[in-house]
Homo-oligomer: A and B are copies of this chain.
Amino acid sequence: MQETRDRIIASAVELFEKKGYHSTTIQEIGEKAGVSKGAVFHYFSSKNEILFLIHEKFINVILNRAENVLKRSDLGTAEKLRELIVNLVELIAEYKPYVVVFFQEFKYVEQERLPLIKEKRDRCEQIYRRVLEQGMSAGEFRKDLDPDMVTKAIFGMCDWSHQWLNPGGRLTPREIGLTFWKILLEGIGRTQPDIDPVRRSMAINL
């Protein structure tokens, strides 16, 4: 049954998240899924294949979502970047166990299975970078910042959230994503107050 297979993967993700890949035994995965150790190997060729499938599943989801945002013709460039960020945080919240495994156990995916993951991960990163660069070209974002560093900063803020995000937190993932977007777009300096009409008119008068 497909069901058993999925249950095994689900068990593996949770255990890998909590205990790490190497500290999780096939035995435990089986037990949690309600099947024997042998059954796990009936469905998967090795423990490492399970790890790979977790990575693959997650990278596919993340890439699909990013591409969907990219396709939306109702959004401007800045709005696209905003949605990419919000989406990412939401997705990290939704797939948290997958994300943790993805970021913590990546190096243990066997060499031969790695290229597929790496390629999609790079494509995903490029989507973000391109939208950013488009926004810079279009004059929606300032041009004096290294686009590479900005991309890294975005991923840093979002990806790192897998370390502290918790499902029932005070803020929803969307709210968190929007906060990040605000910080990114406007900064935390007193930019807004500066735009208040009084000081501006004064400036003009001078």
A73 to B184 alpha-carbon distance, docked (Å): 29
Chain A interface category by residue count: 35 or more
Alpha-carbon distance A183/B104, docked complex (angstroms)? 27
In the complex, are the beta carbons of B189 and A188 less than 8 A apart? no
Closest chain B residue to A187, Cβ basis: B187
Looking across the interface, which residue of chain B has its beta carbon closest to that of A107? B20
For the complex, what is the distance from the CA of A183 to the CA of B187, rounded to whole Å?
6
Which one of A47-55, A64-72, A138-146 contacts B? A138-146
- Pick from B19, B139, B152, B171: contact of A160, CB under 8 Å: B152
Decide yes or no whether A153 CB sits under 8 A from chain B.
yes
Give the complex CA separation of A54 and B158 in angstroms.
27
Verify B152–A164 contact, CB threshold 8 A: yes
Q: Which of the segments A7-15, A112-120, A193-201 contacts the partner chain?
A: A193-201
Q: Does A155 contact B (CB under 8 A)?
A: yes
Contact string against B for A residues 107-144, beta-carbon threshold 8 Å, 1 for contact and 0 otherwise: 11000000000000000000000000000000111100
Residues of A at under 8 Å CB distance from B?
19-20, 22-23, 78, 104, 107-108, 139-142, 145-146, 149-150, 152-153, 155-161, 164, 171, 176, 179-180, 182-195, 197, 200-201, 203-204, 206
A-B contact pairs, 12 of them (CB 8 A): A140-B189, A142-B192, A145-B179, A149-B183, A153-B183, A156-B156, A156-B159, A159-B160, A184-B188, A186-B187, A186-B189, A200-B204
